Amino acid sequence: MPERSLRVGELCEYPLRPFDRLDCAAAAHARRELRVRRRFPQPHRLPVHEDVEHILFTEAQIGAGIDRVAREVTAAYRGTGFTVVSVLKGSCVFASDLIRRIPIPLELAFVSASSYGSGVESGALEVNFFPAESEIRGRDLLLVDDILDTGRTLARLVDEMNRRGARSVRTCVFLDKPARRATSFVADFRVFEVEDLFVVGYGLDFAGHYRNLPYVGALKRECYERPRSSAGR
């Protein structure tokens, strides 16, 4: 039996001794986690994975794709400082993996735009917040988004950044779905092209869920056709 108390996040594989009870929050957390792991022993059998019809891009493919685009971005901005502007919420996973593969100086900022609400069809676009004016004016910006679909979100954000005085604005998307384009928008950098399917995972959501899938997959039809109260679990 280990000679120390549990830390948060650690699994308790042995009966708790009185000493361990001192660390109540950690022990309760560990017991909960152990119960979940016993119920779903394979990571890919957790509830969110069960809603995926098929996987389009695996973790390994995503990693290799981002390596390639990170090299392209690095070559494009070598010798100039620039700011990566991550479009929340969908691009947060992609942006965080991308910037860690870019070995030249950069800053990070966020803009929040939503166009999908909780359905699978495009809705009205709302820009919830912008980076501070000082993070835009005179800066070279790389807008990073999860997916380029109709193109309305990025076309609008590029315009807004130019209007607010950016020195240059380029765009980098994780997925590009050209079949649904409703504008003439073309991204400067893109990781993968994807067919006309509603996809989730790796930051992309349906009704707020599935962003935590480590791969990109197509949702089972019954998940977006079932009543909203139970959609996404």
The catalytic residues are 149
**DSSP secondary structure letters along 43-109:** GGGSHHHHTEEEEEE-HHHHHHHHHHHHHHHHHHHTTS-EEEEEEETTTHHHHHHHHTT--S-EEEE
Contact positions with ligand 5GP (CB under 6 A) in 203-232: 204-206
Radius of gyration of the chain (CA): 21
**Shortest distance, position 106 Cβ to Mg ion, whole Å:** 21
Closest by Cα among 128, 75, 69, 127 to 104: 75
Asked whether position 90 contacts Mg ion by CB under 5 A, the answer is yes
- Total binding residues for ligand 5GP by CB under 6 A? 20
Q: Which of 122, 129, 113, 98 is nearest to 191 (CA)?
A: 98
The 3-state DSSP class for residue 195 equals coil
Applying CB under 5 A, does 203 fall inside the site for Mg ion?
A: no
**Closer to Mg ion by Cβ: residue 20 or 203:** 203
Q: Which of 73, 66, 68, 67 is nearest to 91 (CA)?
A: 66
51 binds, among Mg ion, ligand 5GP, none (CB under 5 to 8 A by kind): none
- Which amino acid appears at position 108 of this protein? L
Site for ligand 5GP (CB under 6 A): which residue of 6, 56, 136, 147? 147
Q: 68-87: which residues touch ligand 5GP (CB under 6 A)?
A: none
> How many other CB atoms are found less than 10 A from the CB of residue 187?
19
Report the residue from 98, 148, 157, 187 that binds ligand 5GP according to the rule CB under 6 A. Answer: 148
For residue 71, give every residue at least 6 positions away whose Cβ sits within 8 Å of its Cβ, in sequence order, or none. none
- For ligand 5GP, give the closer residue by CB, 70 or 113: 113
CA 125 – CA 155 distance, rounded (Å): 11
- Residue from 27, 200, 207, 216 touching ligand 5GP (CB under 6 A): that is 200
- Beta carbon nearer to ligand 5GP, 20 or 146: 146
Q: Which does 136 bind (CB under 5 to 8 A by kind): Mg ion, ligand 5GP, none?
A: none
For the bound state, the minimum distance from the C-beta of residue 194 to ligand 5GP, rounded and expressed in Å, comes to: 7
| Residue numbers 138-157 binding Mg ion by CB under 5 A | 146
Q: Is 199 in the site for ligand 5GP (CB under 6 A)?
A: yes
- Contact positions toward ligand 5GP, by CB under 6 A? 90, 115-116, 122, 145-153, 177, 198-200, 204-206
Residues that bind Mg ion (CB under 5 A): 90, 146
